[in-house]
Structure formats: C-alpha cells, structure tokens
Amino acid sequence: MSMIVFRYLHFLGITFWIGTAVAVAVAASAPTPWESGIAQALRKVTLRVTTPAMLFAFAGGFGMLIPDFSETYAKQGWMHAKLALLLVLAGATGVLTGKLRKWAEGQEVSAKTFGRLAWVISILAVLIVTLAVLRPF
C-alpha cells in the first residue's frame, strides 16, 4: 500500500477515535438527570465508532512506522515517547469503555469519573500530536 493511504487511515482513525472518546466522556459527565437509555447509547457509540477508529489509527500508524523503523524511527526519542503515550491513551479509552459498560449494566459510576477521563484523553492527545509535529528530541 502507498504511504499516503496509511497516513489518511491514521489521521481519520485518530480524528474519530479521540473525537468520539472525548464527546462520549463529556456527554456522560453532563450534570443532567441520567436517563436509562443514554448509557446504552453512549456505549454503542464507543463500541461502533471509537474502538474501530482506534484500530484504524493503529493500522495506519504501524503501516507508516514499520517500513522505515530501523533506519529512522528506532533512533528517535520522540517516537518512543509518542508510542508510550499512545499505550496510555489506549488504556484510558479502555477505562472509558469499561465505565460505560458498568453504567449500562446499572452500576453506579460517578459523573466526575467521565469528566476526568475526558481531560486525560484530551491532554494525552495534545501531547502525542505535539510530539509528532515538533519532534523535539
């Protein structure tokens, strides 16, 4: 495949992954009364959009990374930091999905938890994009 296809796949995946993860977390943290159907709806969005988008982002990223890894990226500190933060971001997305599952099953989940997850995901995304654009070290 052409490198441009991997790049588009990566960028589209990132956009939908981060966008829907933050939107779902913010919607779940809203101070309005929690209706029974909103948890299931937000969980569906996460399972049908956020998770596949994360997989597309990984596929596109690895498609760009693997061909030039040993000559370029293995020697770049910013790439190692970016990949480490990416794993933390994937973990935060998993926590969001798990909390939504618990909420959809009727268990009590604090609205503040979803607000904190929205901030964590947003900050991690900004750090990752900053590393990718500036390549500071």
pLDDT value of position 82: 94
Average confidence (pLDDT) over 73-80: 88
Q: How far apart are alpha carbons 49 and 76 in whole angstroms?
A: 32
Give me 93's structure tokens. Answer: 């997305």
Q: What is the pLDDT of residues 23-57, one digit of tens each?
A: 999 999 986 656 668 889 999 999 999 999 999 99
Domain that holds residue 19: 3-134
pLDDT value of position 31: 67
Q: How far apart are alpha carbons 8 and 14 in whole angstroms?
A: 10
Q: How far is CA 58 from the centre of its chain?
A: 10
Give me 39's structure tokens. Answer: 């948890």
Please check the confidence at residue 136 and state whether its pLDDT lies above 80.
yes
Give me 80's structure tokens. Answer: 């190692």
pTM: predicted TM-score of the whole model, two decimal places: 0.90
Q: What is the pLDDT of residues 104-125, one digit of tens each?
A: 888 888 989 999 999 999 999 9
Q: How many domains does the chain fold into? A: 1
The closest alpha carbon to 81, from 120, 12, 135, belongs to 135
